[in-house]
């Protein structure tokens, strides 16, 4: 439960960061990297069992959608090649 809560907090920080980025593509890209790193770390601590493939796809859609709404399109973004979920 704590790991799920920490993932939720990371996603909340991601959304807050997108709002604060105010369209700055470098800032948006940094927030995407941060949330991916945070989720990777949390998933690794759980032996890869926290984020299954179905949830991983939903997370990717959430992160991509948020970044696109903020002004940055992530088609084939390297950050998703580094994901561990």
Q: Helix axis angle, 53-70 relative to 2-21, nearest 10°? A: 20
The average confidence (pLDDT) of the chain is 90
Can you tell me the distance from the alpha carbon of 51 to that of 40, in angstroms, rounded to the nearest whole number? 9
Q: How confident is the model at residue 74, as a pLDDT? A: 79
Nearest to 38 by CA among 80, 7, 76, 1: 7
pLDDT in tens, 21-41: 999 999 999 999 999 999 999
Interval 51-76 mean pLDDT: 90
| Predicted structure pTM score | 0.87
Q: Read off the pLDDT of each residue in 44-54 and give the average, rounded to a whole number.
A: 93
């Amino acid at each position: 439960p704590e790991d799920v809560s920490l993932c939720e907090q990371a996603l909340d920080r991601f959304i807050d960061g997108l709002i604060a980025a105010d369209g700055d593509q470098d800032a948006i890209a940094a927030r995407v990297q941060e949330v991916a790193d945070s989720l990777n770390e949390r998933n690794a601590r759980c032996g890869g069992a926290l984020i299954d493939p179905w949830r991983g796809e939903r997370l990717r859609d959430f992160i991509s959608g948020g970044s696109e709404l903020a002004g940055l399109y992530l088609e084939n973004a390297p950050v998703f090649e580094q994901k561990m979920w």
